[in-house]
Amino acid sequence: MAGSDDTPEDRNLRVMARWRQTGRVLIEALPYILKYDQKTVVVKYGGNAMTGTGTDDFSQDIVLMKQTGIDPVVVHGGGPQIGAMLKKMNIHSTFIDGLRVTDEAAVEIVEMVLTGSINKQIVSAINAAGGRAVGLSGKDGNLVVARKVAMSKADPDTGERVPVDLGFVGEPEKINPEVLHTMMKSEIIPVIAPIGAGPKGETFNINADTVAGAVAGAVRAERLVLLTDVEGVLDKDKKLVPRLSVREARALIADGTISGGMIPKIQTAIDAVEAGVSAAVILDGRIPHVLLLELFTEHGAGTLITAE
């Protein structure tokens, strides 16, 4: 705290010191700005990361990315918000292996929450930060053509695999990125809700990580960023693992180091890298401006997954 006997010269020196620090930060960012110029970065914004002032920080990061020459594509989740609305509407909801069983009544609520309140909240926040965002779902322009998820589980009595019906839960069968390419040629930032359309026009609820990975592969993104509410992959000593190859990631899944809800995120990252994405990263979306820290600083943040 400044003392009461500060002179104008002292205050001026402190101001100049802050300016010099700002200058050093900008210079550090320059090579990374050049690296990502005219490249696509797909960002999955998780429902658990949408807390407090997080949306404002996130929106500012996305706008700054666009202004520095990056083409950001946002795919958002909304699991907690969907759960809250289903509870409010007295619609029972269960999960099997991390996937929400979605019957006809539930899928209407899922679509309403994802394409309505959440999507428009994010679009409005990006626009308020100075961007030009447009909301989409996978139904628009046949962006995400989906098929029903086929799941089976072992019968506890016989050990045989038996089918499990998850209802209107889907997975991407085909991504048609033409609508995204059209938007990215302009100043528009696409914001995608993870709803897909089936061959007969059915509505499918799709895991947002899965949609983000599939979109990233289809547009040959430079980077897939999965924002969530954990800092990344932790080793057996609960320390952050900053970088993994696809082979190393699979090994950590096999030995149980990567477990639970982190497995599908890592599998999404692996699939995206194998589809041609240069790298995928899992970040803690609760950290202010974590996107800028990851993309524009030397050390980055979270866990980076690469081919080698």
Instruction: Tell me the pLDDT tens digit for each residue of 245-266.
Output: 999 999 999 988 988 778 889 9
Q: Which residues contact 198 (CB under 8 A, 6 or more apart)?
A: 145, 146, 147, 148, 170, 204
Is residue 301 one of the residues assigned to a domain?
yes
Residue 241: CA count within 13 A, CB half-sphere: 20
Write the burial class of residue 127 (CB in 10 Å: 0-12 exposed, 13-18 middle, 19+ buried): middle
Can you give the residue range of the structural domain that contains 217?
36-140+177-196+205-306
| pTM for the structure as a whole | 0.86
Identify the band that residue 80 occupies on the pLDDT scale cut at 50, 70 and 90: confident
Is residue 45 one of the residues assigned to a domain?
yes
Write the burial class of residue 38 (CB in 10 Å: 0-12 exposed, 13-18 middle, 19+ buried): exposed
- Tens-digit pLDDT profile for residues 173-226: 999 999 999 988 888 999 999 999 998 889 999 999 999 999 999 999 999 999
CA distance 43 to 62: 9
Is residue 127 one of the residues assigned to a domain?
yes
Provide the domain count of the chain.
Answer: 1
CA distance 139 to 145: 8
CA distance 131 to 60: 9
Q: Give the chain's mean pLDDT.
A: 86
Is residue 70 one of the residues assigned to a domain?
yes
CATH number at residue 235: 3.40.1160.10
